[in-house]
Amino acid sequence: MSETSPALFAPRACPLCGSAQGKNLLRLSGGSIIESNWSYRSDAAALLALPKGQTFPIDECGACGFIYAALLPSAAFLDDIYDRVIDPDLARNANLSRANLARKMSDMAALFEVHGSSGRPLRLLDYGCGFGPTLQVMRNLPGVNSLGFETSAARLQDLSRRGLAATGDLANVASQGPYDVVLLDNVLEHLPQPREVLEFVRGVSAAAALLYVSVPDTGRQIIRDQGRARPIRMDINPWEHLNYFDIRHLDKLLGEFGFHPVGQMALPEQVRIGLRASPTLGSRVKNGVASAARLCRYIWRGEGLASVTRRFYRLAAHAGAHARATGAVTP
């Protein structure tokens, strides 16, 4: 594409089906991406030195409907983003804030209750652990042996200084498996080829392992609306977020690797049907009508309002065993 630098970006097909027939939903300038991201340094534009007028498209696949960043950043560009442009102190403080740690505790409590007691220590893999908020929460939890995987050298050094077990070596990760619990917490949206990571995760997972997935909730309408919004939402960032999942595409992709959603009736909490506080009668009526359909779904199927920001999956017993038998754990 003439508007882009081939040294920094390359055209990208749909990562789910491979089709190159993308329909553009949104095109962002580098300045608008930088403006929307509070974690970027004030001199981000100078550090990246993007050509004037360069834009970054987000497309919808014409074949399967998946939404994705249509340009793939180079490894060098991503190194600049993660190790130079992102302010490490701002990002670290946000990740390790009390509010974020409390959210991790809540999610892990639900996950462990679904897993149940096996009478033996559990192996937990936090794939793409970042600054390690979940590893921090797990540090003193009895009966859980946690390992983080992280590709950033700077973040690995930070984790080591804090005494948290983490590695950037996939062979090391595989050698310490299989894992009873695997976390993909804000990871899948960053991956050029999500299937490669899911193949690896399946291969290092124990039979009936639990998988926790969280990705940003940025659907088609939200992305289209950003063409008129200023600043744009931080989680719509085609440099860092290469994939934009809805429930349908997320479940389909995970299902290909033997991971099936855990029903909401199995979770240790009330089933949400979407009722929320609202100051006006009109918005309450609109929300109530929409929630009535979810209530019917709950009555019929035991399911309510599902979200890609917090989704639990269980691995079919044969899937992990097959992957290990075929050598899928080899990085």
313 - beta bridge partners?
211, 261
Cβ within 8 Å of residue 105, ≥6 positions away: 137
The answer to whether residue 53 is domain-embedded is no
Domain presence at residue 67: no
Which of these, 30, 25, 5, 33, lies nearest to 68 by C-alpha position? 25
- Reading the chain (331 residues) residue by residue, the pLDDT tens digits are 334 444 789 999 999 999 999 999 999 999 999 999 999 999 999 999 888 888 999 999 999 999 999 999 999 899 899 889 999 999 999 999 999 999 999 999 999 998 887 778 899 999 999 999 999 999 988 899 999 999 988 899 999 999 999 999 999 999 999 999 999 999 999 999 999 999 999 999 999 999 999 999 998 888 988 877 778 899 999 999 999 999 999 999 999 999 999 987 777 777 677 777 878 888 888 888 878 877 877 777 767 767 899 999 999 876 654 344 334 444 4
Query: Rounded to an integer, what distance in angstroms lies between the CA atom of residue 112 and that of residue 285?
Result: 37
Residue 45: inside a domain, yes or no? Answer: no
The closest alpha carbon to 220, from 58, 32, 74, 329, belongs to: 58
Same domain flag for 178 and 204: yes
* Any domain includes 8: no
Specify whether 255 is located in the same domain as 110: yes
Same domain for 286 and 188, yes or no, is: no
- How far is the C-alpha of 150 from the C-alpha of 130, rounded, in Å? 6
The residue segments making up the domain with residue 290 are 272-302
Q: Are strands 243-244 and 67-69 parallel, antiparallel or unpaired?
A: antiparallel
Using a cut of 0.85, tell me whether the model's pTM lies above it.
yes
